[in-house]
Structure 1
């Protein structure tokens, strides 16, 4: 989810400085004076809201990590992951399934976190081995849910979509579910959730999954090309025709006996706020889309903040000069962590060694008027008040969609102003899922949500 950093540090090139970007004015207390480390730590800490981490564990790691030192980051999180994994393994899961499940969820999170800054060297074997450890522990955790999560591999055009289906059966007896889920108790509404630039489908269980299941709905996460497991296991970078990843998931859901096919929603998280609308422009069986947050043109936002000399090199088509310039920054420890990570992560996710090719391909990911016209369902567009990723683009998406869109601005003074409302997931769930309930019940929805309460 954390592609915000691409934008935040490009200005340092124009100023000719290698200093860390200041965190002054940030809405959230910084856990490191390295702003990228601080954001990543905050992202990991936010999973504590739904059993994906523990605050004390993350805060202790934060206290030991050396700002800007990638190996220091890895060392602290692999230590934490291994220690919590060992605790999980020592628990008698048959007698104490909840204890074991929660420990495995946390160790999986910390294994994923440990890989965050490894991508400058794509031959590093830890990129794969540590991720495999994360998958194994996550699978152990979801096997201990009241109704175990079900991993499925869905055939798509020239690739496979890995997905995890979570049945709402365990939530159907929760008090109040008859009000939140007044639909057929056998075939239930289902929410598809996809992540963005670097986030995994596993973390989505903690971000959205529990809130979806608590409402008596099914939840399915998935990954497409460029996203963590597909990139590792199938060697595929991002594709702009994102419907090729989503349509097979919808096909799969239509074959299940427990899915109400008239009530299938799609969430796109972070860069998924571009990917989900792109998918919905071709996949018309969706009853609603939620762009959290709405981004129409990430390339345009990046380019607008490039210094003019960098833009000139890129637009001239001088691939060699542009690649040399950007690649020289990745291993330069005097360059801000945000920019080093952004370039390395982007090259990895697009499966290329060329920054010029990355940006040229990113240019194809755009929600324009033609795309908006081809979206036939209601769309919720979120924006964080303090998110500087793509200023004005959430509102632009609303303008393109017209009356099909509902817009909500999450406020900084309530701790929800960060990119994707990081750390305020309950506020997102309240707005998004109350809106979705009305869509599914045929109740008129507003064009603008005021006050952050739907």
Structure 2
């Protein structure tokens, strides 16, 4: 479904921001106004226009706050955060570059400025992880929900890891707000290869995401013991986009996870990548032949090709497309080891859902549900495009029923 741009990449990211209108993190008129000012296909124009819109909203937030209009200020800051995030999407080939880091830091600052005016209590947290390196995250405490709290004194806990390119602050608009409305507490966090870990520390992705989620659950357990505001006995993990690999990977190794949601579920990144390679490229990959690099760079010329490949290489701490293709073979999920109930979904036409239905069939727990969201209802595409409302209703309805039963 096209929104504005003929350029599929630009239109997909425009739709991503447009979907945030539902939780007041974007304004449809502003989004379309920015789109009209962008030179189609021009990454520099994309960055400049979204950055300018973010700066304008941040200034509005400061003025409204000075007037004592705290709700107005909070909404302006929330929009600023999203617009700054959108600005740097096509700058990820330089994950520590000045332009990306400037927009990413402003995205984080704006979200934190919005927190006091948001309808739920949210606190930034540093989750102990490895030596002196913490995981950045947020804890969102939901309001009262008697139905979900039946049988317990605290709302269930939903863990939300980032996706491939999401800052942790995006958790609020990608499901945190919807979870809280339905009475769930949320612990959102970024790990290696994501947000602060990548942009400031240069720490790349790692396939064993259970090594990240384990300390997060330790954090939840300590919080449950210390003040009782988090429930460590009812923990779900919800992964969207690249989180559709990260969450199942963690669930396969971490028995404290009581429920899994993956949208779309991804189980073998190397196999999916191999399906997209021409036979002669695949032969070079099998031999580990560096000639594959020349083939790929020739097929992906210019700044578009650089953005596509370098954004991925550098997020994984790699230097060549061959290294990336080899690395992806390590990214697998032992589906049969996932013992908890699971909600599995994808939007029709989602580029990342090649293994989702096979994943569902392999799940050993009979308490599982598969939902496909269709273009005809406005919910097709990656992460349900501009129509994620049915997904949120289905997921959190299923999760609520699970813990009430």
Q: Report TM bin, short chain.
A: over 0.9
TM-score, structure 1 normalization: 0.83
| Contact preservation (8 Å) 1:190, 1:265 | yes
Deviations 1:52-89 (A, max 9, x none): 11111111111122222110111111111111111111
Q: How far, CA to CA, are the matches of 2:214 and 2:116 in structure 1?
A: 27
2:329 — aligned with what?
Answer: 363
Mind listing any 5+ residue stretches in structure 2 that lack a counterpart?
A: none
Whether 1:260 and 2:231 are equivalent positions in the alignment is yes
1:202 — aligned with what?
Answer: 169
1:29 — aligned with what?
Answer: 2
- The structural deviation recorded for 1:340 is 4.5
Deviations 1:189-219 (A, max 9, x none): 1111112211222112012111111122211
1:277 — aligned with what?
Answer: 248
Whether 1:184 and 2:152 are equivalent positions in the alignment is yes
Deviations 1:384-435 (A, max 9, x none): 12223343x1111011113253211112211111111122221111110111
1:378 — aligned with what?
Answer: 341
TM-score, structure 2 normalization: 0.93
Q: How far, CA to CA, are the matches of 1:310 and 1:100 in structure 2?
A: 53
2:58 — aligned with what?
Answer: 85
- The structural deviation recorded for 1:99 is 0.7
Mind listing any 5+ residue stretches in structure 1 that lack a counterpart?
A: 1-27, 443-454
2:361 — aligned with what?
Answer: 399
Moved more, 381-390 or 233-242: 381-390
1:441 — aligned with what?
Answer: 404
| Contact preservation (8 Å) 2:245, 2:265 | yes
Q: How far, CA to CA, are the matches of 1:147 and 1:211 in structure 2?
A: 11
3-state DSSP class of the match of 1:318? coil
1:51 aligned to which of 24, 33, 46:
24
3-state DSSP class of the match of 1:149? strand
- The structural deviation recorded for 1:93 is 5.8
- The structural deviation recorded for 1:356 is 1.7
Q: How far, CA to CA, are the matches of 1:106 and 1:122 in structure 2?
A: 23
Q: How far, CA to CA, are the matches of 1:390 and 1:409 in structure 2?
A: 10
Q: How far, CA to CA, are the matches of 1:70 and 1:58 in structure 2?
A: 17
| Contact preservation (8 Å) 1:330, 1:341 | no
- Larger relative contact order (Cα-Cα within 8 Å, sequence gap ≥ 6): 1
- The structural deviation recorded for 1:284 is 0.8
Q: How far, CA to CA, are the matches of 1:34 and 1:126 in structure 2?
A: 23
3-state DSSP class of the match of 1:291? strand
Moved more, 102-111 or 339-348: 339-348
- The structural deviation recorded for 1:123 is 5.8
3-state DSSP class of the match of 2:62? helix
Q: How far, CA to CA, are the matches of 2:161 and 2:348 in structure 1?
A: 23
**1:280/1:330 CA distance change after superposition, 3 Å:** same
**1:93/1:356 CA distance change after superposition, 3 Å:** farther
Count of equivalent residues: 399
- The structural deviation recorded for 1:94 is 7.5
Q: How far, CA to CA, are the matches of 1:142 and 1:357 in structure 2?
A: 41
